[in-house]
Chain A
Amino acid sequence: MAERVGIYVCHCGSNIAGTVDVEEVARWAGQHIKDVVVSKDYKFMCSSLGQAMIEEDIKTKGLTRVVVAACSPHLHEKTFRRACANAGLNPYLCQMTNIREHVSWVCTDKAAGTEKAKALVSASAERVKYQRPLEPMYVDVNPATLVVGGGIAGLQAALELADAGHPVYLVEREPSIGGHMAQFDKTFPTLDCSACILTPKMSEAGQHENITLLTYSELEEVSGSVGGFTVKIRKKARYVDYDKCTGCGICSEKCPRKVIDTVFEAGIGERKAIYSPFPQAVPRIPVIDVDSCLYFTRGKCQVCSKVCPTNAIDYEQKDELIEVKVGNIILATGWKLFDCARMPQYGYGRLANVFTNLEFERLCNAAGPTNGKIVLRDGKTEPKSVAIIHCVGSRDVNYNEGCSAVCCMAALKLGHLVLEKTNAEVYSFYIDMRTNQKMYEEFYQRLLAEGMHFVRGKVAEVTDAARNPDEQGKLIVQCEDTLLGRQRRIPVDMVVLMSAMEPQADAKELGLKCGISCSMAGWYTERHPKLDPVATMTDGVFVAGVCQGAKDIPASVAQGAAAAARVQGMITKGRVMIEPIVATIDEEGCSGCRICNNLCPYNAIEFDEEKKVSRVIAALCKGCGTCVAACPAGVITGAHFNNQQIFAEIEGALWDAAAAKTEEETATQSVSA
């Protein structure tokens, strides 16, 4: 018996209808595609009225298949499958055709767009006839969650979940949690001390009964899927016994080897070869940096081991691979600082008194290398003038096209600290002053009142090439004061570069491990930029904080909490639906060659030793199709993507070629007749 197909073409307001003649597509489909019982267009198919129309047609016209030509299935596949289910039709008998992203948004020629839309609708209609009813599967959600990144976003997420009573594994690459926020002195716009608001959260996380802290650790491998991930984590050797160490710090104190701390102190301070990055570190267990440790590099020293009162130093310690099982993953991996040496015109690395903002944060910090005294690179001279340069590596297609979002406010904050701590004149060189959150504009006004100088213009260069005696021995900041329309040269003692926030160097790699992608700029891609900002296209994987895009502390905290709330929703629900789009092996034809077993990227194929055949574990299968293509006997079928369906789809897309051929044949026949 022939199927009864219904076709529904959406205008999406003018989103589709602007470039595709949707009425024509619906009319054409109704007349030309075989087995089509009803074909309609509608302003917004996803609206409740649109859905009701489909449901009504299924019931009254006895539809057995439905095609919705609208937006991406990412957006509304669930909507229309649900509508079909409501009317008693198996949801997998509904097929979506993307005529928005694939047609109207990428076409300018309406006639051509309309033709393409027809071909795509035809393809779906032919395919849908061969689709089979499928029953969704359900798996239980493991209530434990993995949080990657112990900065403020990850901390917030971990605490929210732990406080709600759920177990959390918090993985952090550095020896301590805290992230970049631990490096800052004050936070805008309220100027509260960064450490004062952060460290209570850090110690809470360190002591929380539901949080397993895995510092100095990195994510190695992720397998499984939403509800049941298995995660391998590498705990790097600290060379300090975690259980014996009391964190007394004598080892660091006595260690004879000092090195420049390029991480926590941003290169302007020192640490020892055995160290804890900062006094409030959580955990307080130090690590040995084997690249600088005298024992590891030269075989001599062992001072730490000798002075340790609890015998906690263990030079033989090895990296440890541990495996944890979680239901959901939150990535909160943060950012890295733009390398200012890439813009030689600003002199960073060549001119001593050009600093990055992160170096300057450490300089301002009371716990930093200068005890909070703002001094030049010589370590003693207080600057009489400081220039703060915005947008270094941001808003620049040569480096990072986007705005780093926090620098304007951070520049104002640093300017305030200079004014508060020194007698220096402070200049801010900005392109546009962006102070668009609560109390931010007020903070800008405060700095105007405090006497910070504002020059609107992107700095062209910072140079030591003096042109007159006033400039001698100074750093000269050259720019166009765009509000005056004149070139200016302002001699200063010190320059601070507000460096761009960039994605972590390994963000893409980590994303791949978890099955999520990055934007062109390298930030993790959220499921929807407005309506689903912390979920991703991979169920069970969430993002929070700067790894999703440059943002400040309040926004990072909000995202951390939001991600935790989403995970709690999953946990509360208890089980999640898994697409029944999986592979099946026809045991009759299986030769037991095991090619599929080895190829499966999800370890979802087991081998039955007794029957000598392979079998797919449906709960693990992701429906990727690798085994289907590889099976030499051709006995593996991918549900929802079988050959019949794919060939029908191709035939449908090529309807005009087929039509031409038929015409030709008819013509030849009539001639021969």
Chain B
Amino acid sequence: MGAHSEGNHGSAFLREVIADTPGGERIVHCLQCGSCGGSCPSGADMQYTPRTIFAMINANQRDAVLSANTMWYCVSCYLCMTRCPQNIPITDVMYALKRLAIAEGKARGTDAPALAKTFTDILEKYGRSFELGLASRYYLLNRPMAMMKMGPMGLSMFTRGRMALLPTKIKNLDQLQAIIKKARELGEAS
């Protein structure tokens, strides 16, 4: 009854995704027009287009959505989001789905979570990103064969002074780590 009853309706998974996405309440307005799927630079490689994902969310297909490759092919270009005729924050929904999939270990057939993990580990350790460290650790652990192909490129980068051998550390690393620790606690508490 009335304007404030949204949120009690729709599938359980729909409500979950809405809660996890800033601006997520727009999801219910999806027209299934496909302008997201049509705009996506990775659309052709996705198992399900973003539009299909929205239909699946409505149909409460939680497992199928969280183990889909769709969000892992999202390149965060935001084309879908600015074109969406219903102002649905599609890219942000993809981020929410990534987080849910990682949290539940459902991410499949992609090295993206591994890359993300390596990246954040380095960030936590040094406060800055460190390309060589990121590349060597991520490739060695996840894609040793690809490492070989990267060789010549890495060398070219190195000779042009574009690849540092040592990481830069921020001065007040303790402060950053304390912030991260506290943020994690707060996140887990809620």
- Point out residues on A near B: beta carbons under 8 Å: 18-19, 105, 107-108, 345, 391, 395-398, 431-432, 456-461, 478-482, 485-487
Instruction: Assess whether A457 is in contact with B1, with CB atoms less than 8 Å apart.
Output: no
What are 20 A-to-B residue pairs whose CB atoms are below 8 Å?
A391-B33, A395-B33, A457-B34, A457-B37, A458-B35, A459-B35, A459-B38, A460-B34, A460-B83, A479-B34, A479-B35, A480-B34, A480-B35, A480-B36, A480-B43, A480-B49, A482-B34, A482-B37, A482-B51, A487-B38
A432-B32 Cα distance, complex, nearest whole Å? 10
> Once the chains are docked, how many angstroms separate the CA of A398 from the CA of B31?
14
B1 touches A487 (CB 8 A): no
Please name the residue on chain A nearest to B45 by beta carbon.
A487
CB–CB A485/B48 < 8 A: yes
Interface contact B38-A461, CB-CB below 8 Å: yes
**Could you mark each residue 142-153 of chain B with 1 if its beta carbon is under 8 Å from any beta carbon of chain A, else 0?**
000000000000
Please tell me if B39 contacts chain A, counting CB pairs below 8 Å: yes
Check A18–B39 contact: CB distance below 8 A.
Answer: no
- Does the CB pair A457–B48 fall under 8 Å? no
A478 touches which of B4, B36, B38, B85 (Cβ 8 Å): B38
Q: Which residue of B lies closest to A458 (CB)?
A: B33
B contacts with A: majority SS: loop
Known contacts being A461-B38, A485-B49, is A395 close to B83, with CB within 8 Å? Answer: no
B33 touches A397 (CB 8 A): no
Complex interface: chain B residues within 8 A of A19 (CB) = 1-2
B window 14-33: CB within 8 A of A: 31-33
The CA-CA distance from A108 to B4 in the complex, in Å, is 8
What is the size, in residues, of chain B's interface with A at 8 Å between Cβ atoms?
A: 26
| Docked complex Cα distance between A432 and B43 (Å) | 22
Minimum CB–CB distance from A44 to chain B (whole Å) comes to 20
Contact yes or no, A398 B4, CB < 8 A:
no
CB distance from A644 to the nearest CB of B (A): 37
Least Cβ–Cβ distance between B34 and chain A, in angstroms: 3
Nearest 4 CB-CB pairs, A to B?
A460-B38, A480-B37, A480-B34, A396-B85
Give the nearest-CB partner of B82 in chain A: A398
Tell me if B93 counts as interface (CB < 8 A to partner A). Answer: no
Taking A457-B34, A457-B38, A482-B32 as given, write out 19 further A-B residue pairs in contact, using a Cβ cutoff of 8 Å, ordered by the A residue number. Answer: A18-B1, A19-B2, A105-B2, A108-B3, A108-B4, A345-B39, A345-B83, A395-B33, A397-B86, A397-B87, A398-B85, A398-B87, A458-B33, A460-B83, A478-B38, A479-B38, A480-B36, A480-B43, A485-B51
Chain A residues with Cβ below 8 Å from B51 are 480, 482, 485
A458 engages B1 (CB within 8 Å): no
Given known A-B contacts A398-B87, A482-B51, A485-B49, A458 and B2 have beta carbons under 8 A apart: no
In the assembled complex, the Cα of A25 lies from the Cα of B90 at a distance in Å of 47
In the bound complex, residues from chain A placing their C-beta under 8 Å from that of B52 are 485
In the complex, A396 Cα to B82 Cα: how many Å? Answer: 11
- Mostly, the A contact residues are loop
B40 beta carbon closer than 8 Å to chain A: yes
The residues of B that contact A482 with a CB separation of less than 8 Å are 32-34, 37, 51
Name the A residues within 8 Å of B85 (CB-CB). Answer: 391, 395-398, 458
B90 to chain A minimum Cβ distance, whole angstroms, is: 12
* CB-based A-B contact count at 8 angstroms: 83
User: Does residue B44 face the partner (Cβ distance < 8 Å to A)?
Assistant: yes
Query: In the complex, what residues of A have CB within 8 A of residue B3's CB?
Result: 108
B106 CB to closest chain A CB, in angstroms?
21
* Residues in B whose Cβ lies below 8 Å from that of A479: 34-35, 38
Residue of B33, B37, B40, B86 with most chain A CB atoms under a 10 A cut-off: B33
- Residues 78-112 of chain B, each 1 if its beta carbon lies under 8 Å from chain A, else 0: 01000101110000000000000000000000000
The chain A residue sitting closest to B44, CB to CB, is A487
* Nearest CB of B to A368, in Å: 32
Give chain B nearest CB distance to A12 CB in angstroms.
14
In the complex, chain B residues whose CB is within 8 Å of the CB of A459: 35, 38
Nearest-neighbor residue (CB-CB) of B47 within chain A? A485
List the B side residues contacting A396 at CB < 8 Å.
85-86
Which residues on the A side are within 8 Å of B34 (C-beta)?
456-458, 460, 479-482
Most buried by A among B4, B34, B79, B85: B34
Residues of B within 8 A of A456 (CB): 34
B8–chain A nearest beta-carbon distance, Å: 12
Residues in B neighbouring A398, C-beta threshold 8 A: 85, 87
Q: Which residue of A lies closest to B38 (CB)?
A: A460
Complex Cα distance, B4 from A461, in Å, reads: 36
Q: Identify the interface centre among A19, A480, A482: most chain B CB within 10 Å of its CB.
A: A480
CB within 8 A of B2: which of A108, A397, A432, A486?
Answer: A108
Chain A residues with CB under 8 A of B48: 485
Q: Specify which chain B residues have a CB less than 8 angstroms from the CB of A458 in the assembled complex.
A: 31, 33-35, 38, 85
Within 8 A of A (CB), among B37-71: 37-40, 43-44, 48-49, 51-52
Chain A residue numbers with a CB within 8 Å of B38 are 457-461, 478-480, 487
Give the distance to chain A from B70, nearest Cβ to Cβ, in Å. 11
With both chains docked as a complex, state the minimum distance between the C-beta of B28 and any C-beta of chain A, in angstroms: 13
Cα separation A248 to B1 with both chains bound (whole Å): 66
Q: Which residues of A contact B5 (CB under 8 A)?
A: 108
